[in-house]
Structure 1
Amino acid sequence: MDEKVVYKRKKMKTSSADKAFTVINTIIMTLFLIITLYPILNTLAVSFNDGIDSARGGIHFWPRIFSISNYKAVLRRPGIYQGALITVARTVFGTLSSLAVNALLAYIVSRKRFLFRNQLSLFWVVTMYVNGGMIPTLVLFKNLKLTGTFWVYVIPGMVSAFNMLVMRTYMNGLPDALEEAAQIDGAGYMKVFVRIISPLCKPVYATIALFIAVYHWNAWFDTMLYNRNKTKNTTLQWELMKLLTSAMSQTGGSANPGSTKSDAITPIAIRAAATILTALPILCLYPFLQRYFVSGVTIGGVKE
């Protein structure tokens, strides 16, 4: 009887501890969810609020005076649609080309039979810490006839030492027996890479693709440097940057000097609307890559 009483008491204590842990864990995760979602919801509320009223502050989860004038101001910006087209094009071409080039380089330096694998890896690591600087890079691109063209967005970013090393580390973890079996059956290196290595590298490919796509989608500084006066090669982020600068420089904070008070645009409202418009595509893309993301970062970032 004594042993049963002791067992029941231990079970009650364990159950109480589990319940306390569940309650505390739920509270912490709920607070974390609120902290994570609040900036997004607040930005969304400000973007749909009247511009002049947004300057008063005090907007949290819901717009005080509902208005779509902020989005109208952004979408009416001259060059915004051309910039969106170029941004989509550079994101697609840049992501695919960079992923293909880095995957091929990673496959080459991950093969144990390749003679200069360690030397090349060291060379690429050095480029992560040392570069020629902005002016020499600008002169180089100008001499290569890249400035003023669309390809200045794609070609310079094809090779990334970080992305290549992450892929190489992931490929090093694949069994060598797979490649040896394929070569016995007559497969060459390219066929092994396409038919065997690449299908097994989907997690790290998806992770790197997301990194590259986010970089290209958010880039605007290279547009200012290389295509500042080329309207046909403008980008979405550069047009939004000019719009925000224009809004901040206008008297009273209005991006439309001739607008009425009801549809006046302020920098805080323009910034919120631009943030929502630029973040929306990435937010829509992330769920499709989420199942690969964690495993790609974890496995690709660990070297045994």
Structure 2
Amino acid sequence: MKGTTWGDRLFDGFNYTLLAILGFITIYPFINLFAISLNDALDSLRGGIYFLPRKFSLLNYQIIFEQGDLLRATIMSVTRTVVGTVCGVLATVMVSYTLSRKEFVLRKPLNLILVFTLFINAGLLPSYMLIVNLNLMNNFAVYILPLLISAYNIIIVRSYFEQIPDGMVESAKIDGASDYQILFRVIIPVSMPVIATITLFIAVMHWNSWFDNYLYTSGNKELNLLQLELMKILLTSVNEVANSSNPTNSDALKTNPDAIRAAMTIIVTMPILFVYPFLQRYFVKGIMVASMKE
């Protein structure tokens, strides 16, 4: 604090206080859900649970993990997320590199078409008909191919590639490097911040997806995802509570849909929370690099 004026310290204090308040507002809902998920469900109906469970219970998680298909669905969700993320990042990087090269003849029209897709969406029915005609129904590929390319991600990566000095690419070409060698040995190593960003975007998208499972692969239980199985558990809980006079499950009167929903939110959020810290440093680096290049 040496050499700083009173006004500087006041300004820093205001910034720290504001950031602390914003951080609390962001984190508190998750803490509250975690407390509710660990609290006795019937006791939660009284309200007043904020940071810690009032009556500790693991019944909410027990009801979820007792479902026989949950482990298989979790493995399928992890497989889809890993395969979809690797394929999506690779396809996005390759398309973005092509569209960022000024010598590519179709660069401008394809970029216009790409932006056009952000504003125009054909809707669900044409998409469903396309999936049927491609024989992707009840096929694992339906999780990967339709989501392989995202116009938004391509625009982000392409813009980052355009900021890389042309001298790096020209030097590699003089040394006899092919386009693939330039992409994988020159461009990608200096573009890790933006690649880490879209990796998280794509991974979260695949991990949270469930509607395509419900729509396209409902005829094959082996392809059911964790999110769809959790939704079934929630619907079962709602129905059993609604018919509590004659429950089909002995635990139906010991829980409530809100408690089950809180436990489900924690289950599907934890993997992303574990992955995010490893990518956070790339986000900070990406912001610094972008500000220097601007």
Cα distance in structure 2, aligned partners of 1:260 and 1:112? 64
Normalised to the residue count of structure 2, the TM-score between the two structures is 0.91
Cα distance in structure 1, aligned partners of 2:290 and 2:197? 9
Q: Aligned runs of 1:176-187 on 2, under 5 Å? A: 176-187=166-177
Post-superposition shift, 1:160? Answer: 1.0
Task: Establish whether residue 259 from structure 1 lines up as the match of residue 250 from structure 2.
Answer: yes
Post-superposition shift, 1:198? Answer: 0.9
Post-superposition shift, 1:46? Answer: 0.4
Structure 1 runs (4+) greater than 6 angstroms displaced: 297-304
**Contact 2:81 2:206 survives alignment (8 Å):** yes
Post-superposition shift, 1:229? Answer: 3.0
Distance change >3 Å, CA 27–CA 160, structure 1 → 2:
closer
Task: Establish whether residue 171 from structure 1 lines up as the match of residue 171 from structure 2.
Answer: no
Post-superposition shift, 1:301? Answer: 11
- Match for residue 115 of structure 1? 105
Q: Deviations over 1:192-219 (max 9, x none)?
A: 1111011111111000000000000001
- Match for residue 52 of structure 1? 42
Post-superposition shift, 1:271? Answer: 0.6
Distance change >3 Å, CA 50–CA 241, structure 1 → 2:
same
Identity %: 41
Cα distance in structure 1, aligned partners of 2:152 and 2:292? 13
User: Which structure's CA Rg is the greater one?
Assistant: 1
- Match for residue 27 of structure 2? 37
What is the CA RMSD across the aligned residues, in angstroms? 2.4
Post-superposition shift, 1:227? Answer: 1.3
**Contact 1:166 1:301 survives alignment (8 Å):** no
Q: Secondary structure in 1 aligned to 2:145?
A: coil
Task: Establish whether residue 193 from structure 1 lines up as the match of residue 183 from structure 2.
Answer: yes
- Match for residue 87 of structure 2? 97
- Match for residue 220 of structure 1? 210
Task: Establish whether residue 78 from structure 1 lines up as the match of residue 68 from structure 2.
Answer: yes
Cα distance in structure 1, aligned partners of 2:10 and 2:144? 54
Query: Where in structure 2 are there 5+ consecutive unaligned residues?
Result: none
Post-superposition shift, 1:303? Answer: 10
Task: Establish whether residue 127 from structure 1 lines up as the match of residue 117 from structure 2.
Answer: yes
Cα distance in structure 1, aligned partners of 2:20 and 2:85? 36
Q: Secondary structure in 1 aligned to 2:159?
A: helix
- Match for residue 160 of structure 1? 150
**Contact 2:69 2:229 survives alignment (8 Å):** yes
Bigger Cα displacement from structure 2, 16-25 vs 199-208: 16-25
Cα distance in structure 2, aligned partners of 1:174 and 1:272? 45
Cα distance in structure 1, aligned partners of 2:15 and 2:129? 56
Cα distance in structure 1, aligned partners of 2:290 and 2:16? 32
Q: How many residues align?
A: 291
Q: Which amino acid aligns with 2:205?
A: Y
Q: Aligned runs of 1:241-280 on 2, under 5 Å? A: 241-252=231-242, 257-259=248-250, 264-280=254-270
